[in-house]
Amino acid sequence: MQNSKKLNSSATDRFENDLEKLQTENSRLHSLLEVTNTLSSVINLETLLFKIMDVVKINLHADRCTVFILDKDKNELWSKVAMGVKQEIRFPADKGIAGFVATSGETLNIPDAYADYRFNPEVDKKTGYKTENMLTMPMRDKRNEVIGVFQVLNRKTGSFTSEDEELLGAISSVAASAVENALLYEEIRKSFTSFIETLSTTLDARDYITSGHSRRVTLYAVQISRLMRLDAAEINRIRYASLLHDIGKIGVPEIVLFKNKKLSDDEYEIIKRHASLTKSILSKIHFQKELKDVPEIASTHHEKIDGSGYPDGLTSADIPLGGKILAVCDVFDALTSRRQYRDRIEIEKVMDIIDKETGTAFEPFVVYEFKSIRLNVLVEILEFGYNENLKKEDLELLKNYSLKDIVQIRINGAKDEEQAHMEEVFMRYYLRTYRMD
């Protein structure tokens, strides 16, 4: 009986042991599955990296986690957040503990950072943070190549255990494939954008008179869209539509496009064709879902709210908001750009022209938003391509005034010395001249 009792009790112990092990394993699997589900749903690289850091921090009971990505082209490690500072940092891929791990492929579990010779205390000094213990592990892709580094700091209790290492190892492989996907997505997105930007710049360059026009119109339009608090997807549509609004000019013969003298009616009709050409070219492109409206926005930049515009003579209700924004930005840039042998038209005259067409050509609330653009932003766009010549203190001053303000001051005169000084600063940039190549 004694024996049987003993046997039973030891069997129970064994069962309990097994049960406990299985339960631990189970909860580990559960959290790993949750991590995997969370990570695999994100394709935007920045969002993903923040999610990874968050997930690791929570699952390893740590105070901080930074993920560094290895840029193989430049042999650098970079991160969006390092040591709690939200910005991109970059450093050579063999520097510091993260660099050691990236290069050697080893995991470093350091219970006392300040006792380790590889630890660089400079960052703590700068940020006021106190690193105690740290777990640094390479992130590897399917081919077992290092694509980044996890750095986990200050476990809430004690220092990092071998179970922590194991868990991080498991998270790492999931994170790696999510990062690879996001990098690929990012690359192709960047290719697409830079292709459109380059093309738009190249087309502008064909017509030296309007060089930089599409780029500046894009900057104005995005600025106005932000002032109107449009959502990110809509701003994106407006950005692409602005970059591409004049693409139809490919189809306008240079002999008409570049004519210096007044255009005949026939020639003007040919020029006007560019708006519908923009539409027919862009309509052939398979835009991703979010950008489906780009062709419509781009091709309505010469429509007027009273229906007297082209190519379709649409009225206010039928012109997309993006088209209305583009219309104002397009005319403003045409009126304020420098021409050979000609300075800029005075800003108050420019705005007078726009005011006179507000309510017939332009949508009043768009013009209203346009006038609220800050002068530092305005100068940066007007002088796009020559921005290295803008003085920081000038921009600081201009920031306090809007386009509406400067027009008022130009017409009614400055009310105080600051206004007078600001006006002088603005006009210095507005009227400065360059040798045109």
Q: How far is the CB of 181 from a second copy (least distance, A)?
A: 5
Choice between 27 and 127, CB closer to a second copy = 27
In 3D space, the residue among 79, 80, 38, 77 whose CA is nearest the CA of residue 56 turns out to be 38
* Amino acid letter, 75: N
Q: Which stretch binds a second copy (CB under 8 A): 175-183, 306-314, 320-328, 343-351?
A: 175-183
Residue 44, beta-bridge partner list: none
In 3D space, the residue among 197, 219, 214 whose CA is nearest the CA of residue 374 turns out to be 219
The residues near 333 (Cβ < 8 Å, ≥ 6 apart) are 213, 216, 217, 220
In 3D space, the residue among 250, 227, 256 whose CA is nearest the CA of residue 329 turns out to be 227
Choice between 14 and 126, CB closer to a second copy = 14
Is 274 within 8 Å of 252 (Cβ atoms)?
Answer: yes
> Is 10 a binder of a second copy (CB under 8 A)?
no
Choice between 72 and 356, CB closer to a second copy = 72
Q: Which stretch binds a second copy (CB under 8 A): 249-257, 346-354, 380-388, 405-413?
A: 249-257
Choice between 277 and 422, CB closer to a second copy = 277
Q: Which stretch binds a second copy (CB under 8 A): 63-71, 130-138, 245-253, 372-380?
A: 245-253
> Is 287 a binder of a second copy (CB under 8 A)?
yes
Choice between 26 and 264, CB closer to a second copy = 26
- Whether the CA torsion 298, 299, 304, 306 is positive or negative: it is negative
The alpha carbon of 404 is separated from its chain's Cα centroid by a whole number of angstroms, namely 28
Size of the site for a second copy (CB under 8 A): 64
Instruction: Look at the block and give the residue holding tokens 């201009």.
Output: 398
> Is 250 a binder of a second copy (CB under 8 A)?
yes
Q: Which stretch binds a second copy (CB under 8 A): 24-32, 217-225, 377-385, 409-417?
A: 24-32
Length of the chain (residues) = 437
Q: How far is the CB of 194 from a second copy (least distance, A)?
A: 4
Q: How far is the CB of 320 from a second copy (least distance, A)?
A: 19
Considering only residues 252 to 271 of the shown chain, the ones binding a second copy according to CB under 8 A are: 253-255
Question: Which residue among 49, 137, 174, 305 contacts a second copy (CB under 8 A)?
Answer: 174
Choice between 95 and 140, CB closer to a second copy = 140
The residues near 152 (Cβ < 8 Å, ≥ 6 apart) are 56, 57, 60, 62, 64, 65, 134, 135, 136, 137, 160, 164, 168
Q: How far is the CB of 26 from a second copy (least distance, A)?
A: 6
Choice between 190 and 391, CB closer to a second copy = 190
Considering only residues 107 to 166 of the shown chain, the ones binding a second copy according to CB under 8 A are: 142
Joined together, the tokens standing for residue 404 give: 């509406």
DSSP state letters, 160-175: --HHHHHHHHHHHHHH
DSSP state letters, 288-335: -GGGTTHHHHHHTTT--TBS--SSS--BGGGS-HHHHHHHHHHHHHHH
d(CA 366, CA 134): 53
3-state secondary structure (DSSP) of residue 434? coil
Question: Which residue among 63, 94, 116, 180 contacts a second copy (CB under 8 A)?
Answer: 180
> Is 289 a binder of a second copy (CB under 8 A)?
yes
> Is 178 a binder of a second copy (CB under 8 A)?
yes
> Is 276 a binder of a second copy (CB under 8 A)?
no
d(CA 88, CA 79): 5
Residue 86, Ramachandran bin (φ over 0: left; ψ between -120 and 50: alpha; else beta): beta
Question: Which residue among 114, 195, 365, 386 contacts a second copy (CB under 8 A)?
Answer: 195
Choice between 197 and 348, CB closer to a second copy = 197
Question: Which residue among 185, 271, 404, 410 contacts a second copy (CB under 8 A)?
Answer: 185
Considering only residues 27 to 66 of the shown chain, the ones binding a second copy according to CB under 8 A are: 29-30, 32-33, 36-37, 39-41, 43
Q: How far is the CB of 53 from a second copy (least distance, A)?
A: 18
Question: Which residue among 187, 269, 318, 424 contacts a second copy (CB under 8 A)?
Answer: 187
Residue 113 phi, psi (nearest 5): -55, -45
d(CA 391, CA 383): 12
Q: Which residues bind a second copy (CB under 8 A)?
A: 1, 4-5, 8, 11-12, 15-16, 18-19, 22-23, 25-26, 29-30, 32-33, 36-37, 39-41, 43, 142, 173-174, 177-178, 180-181, 184-185, 187-196, 198-199, 201-203, 205-206, 247, 250-251, 253-255, 281, 284-289, 291
